[in-house]
Structure 1
Amino acid sequence: MAGVLNDEVVLELIFRELDPRSLCQMEQVCHLWRDVAGSNRVWKEKVERLCRIRNMKPYLGRAEDWKTRYKQLTLGRLYPRVVPRAARPKTYEENLEALQPEPSSNFVELQVKKRTPIKEFIQSTTNRKYIIGNAYYMHTKSETIGLMKNILLRDKKTKQIYTGPAVRELLGLVRGRADWNIQPRSFDPRITDRFNIFVQSKSVGRMLVPRTQLLYKVS
Structure 2
Amino acid sequence: MTNPHAFPKANSVASLNAPQLQLASHLAIYWLMCLALVLMIAGATAGSAQAQSVEALEWQPGQSTLPTVISTPHNDVRKLLRQAKYPQALLLVNKGLSTNPRDPQMRFWQAYIFEQLDQPDMARQVYLDLTREYPELPEPHNNLGAIYAAKGDYPNAKASLDAALRVNPNYAAAYENMGDLLVNMARQSYERSLTVEPKQRGITQKIERLKPVLEITQGKP
Bigger strand share: 1
Bigger helix share: 2
Give the TM-score normalised by the residue count of structure 2: 0.21
Q: Which has the higher contact order (CA 8 A, sep 6+)?
A: 1
